[in-house]
Structure formats: structure tokens, C-alpha cells
Amino acid sequence: SLELTQPPSVSVSPGQTAAITCSGDKLGEKYTSWYQQKPGQSPILVIYQDYKRPSGIPERFSGSNSGNTATLTISGAQAVDEAEYYCQAWDTNAAYVFGGGTKVTV
Amino acid sequence: EVQLLESGGGSVQPGGSLRLSCAASGFTLGSSEMNWVRQAPGKGLEWVAYINTHGATYHADSVKGRFTISRDNARNSLYLQMDSLRAEDTAVYYCSRDLLNPIQGIIVGMDVWGQGTTVTVSS
């Protein structure tokens, strides 16, 4: 079954770019979504269908997906972006799979 | 406003049962594909169960045979019946709505999440 691997942590200086990767077998053939979760809060969808942003999500969030790796990019990171980020995909076994999460420190 | 509100969490002994509820507002739950997702203390997100608009269900291997997802469209509510609970089921349980690509008709993410309800399994 599909397994998604994320780095445990990413650190970025304010105003710089953070790239969070999510790796899985043939992940580029599936749609990937990304969620932001702050301590004590529910997850929020920030990217769906690999690169699309829901309304209300800042343009500094972008996504890509190719080969075995999906990437969430935060361009011009702000302190408010400090959170845990999870990738997610739908497995052929009719099941959702989440990555282990990446803690982003700004 | 589109919202999901979970309830029914609490403390239970191993082997016990709980029934979680998720009330939807601002949209018709019967027209949506829905999930339960959980998060153990200090851990990541784990998908638990899914139900589509036709009532077909899927459950994670970790809960298969013990948990059952269901819905009551008349009440605009989603449920999770949890039996034979174990310590490792301790978590915050969230209900979520699937976002579908309207052209392809496939799931592309979870766009609405509730605030979560806490389940503690301990003797």
C-alpha cells in the first residue's frame, strides 16, 4: 500500500522560501493535497489537486507533483505560517493516506 | 456558513463502545462524501473511515471490524460507532468533507473539518 514520507522538520527565515516534500511510489500519478495544522486547531486545506489553492489561502502557498514527489512551497514565509504540514493522497486500495507531517519553523 | 460539529467523545474502558456524531450545517451532508480522521496525542493524522453518497463505506485496517461509519441524511449527520475500543484508539476524532473535482468526479482533498472530539480509552 501507498506510504507517504515527509521530512520531520523544515526551518526557514522570514521572507525566504520553504519547500516541503512528500515522497511516495508513483505519487505523481495521484492527486495530492496539503493541510496546515497549528497547535490545538483542526487541519486546514491549503493545496488540493496538486497545485490548486482554496479561496482564502494566500498566494504564497503553491504545490507541484511529479514522479515520486509532491512539493508544497511557501514563498516569502511569514511567522503566521509556522505550523505542521501534512500531505495526503488517495490510495488504489480505496483508502486515504497521510504523510507523517513536517513541522515548519519560521 | 459551512460547518461540521462533532460530539460524543469521552472516556471509556478498554473493550467499551462509543458513538461519535458529526452535525453538518450550511450544506447537505447527503450530497457529500465524508470521512472520519483521527490524531493520537502528539502524533500525525490518520484516516479512519469514509462513506460516499451511495452509502458505500471503507474503513482503515486498524479499525476494520470494530468501527462503523454511517450517515443519517434526514438529520444531516454523520456517525462513527466504535466498539471493542483499545488504548491505541485514544485520539482526537475529526469529521471532514471531501472536495470533488466537478469535471472528473474524483476526490481531490478534504475541504471542511470539524473542531474534533476527544476519545480516551483507559482503565
> Concatenated DSSP letters for A25-70?
TTGGGS-EEEEEE-TTS--EEEEBTTTBPPTTS-TTEEEEEETTEE
B25 within 8 A of B87, measured Cβ to Cβ: no
The answer to whether the Cβ–Cβ distance between B111 and A45 falls below 8 Å is yes
Which pLDDT value is given to residue A95?
80
Given a cut of 70, the residues of chain A with pLDDT beneath it are: 94
* pLDDT score recorded for residue A33: 97
Class of residue A27 by CB neighbours under 10 A (exposed 0-12, middle 13-18, buried 19+): buried
d(CA B100, CA B104): 8
Out of B101, B111, B115, closest to residue A54 by CB: B111
- Looking at residue B88, its pLDDT comes to 97
Taking CB atoms and an 8 Å cutoff, what residues of chain B touch A45? Answer: 99, 109-111
Chain A residues within 8 Å of chain B (Cβ atoms): 31, 33, 35, 37, 42-45, 47-49, 52, 54, 84, 86, 88, 90, 94-101
For residue A11, give Cα distances in angstroms to A70, A82, B15, B70: 18, 9, 43, 41
pLDDT at A94: 60
Q: Using 50 as the pLDDT threshold, list the residues of chain B that sit under it.
A: none
pLDDT of residue B107: 83
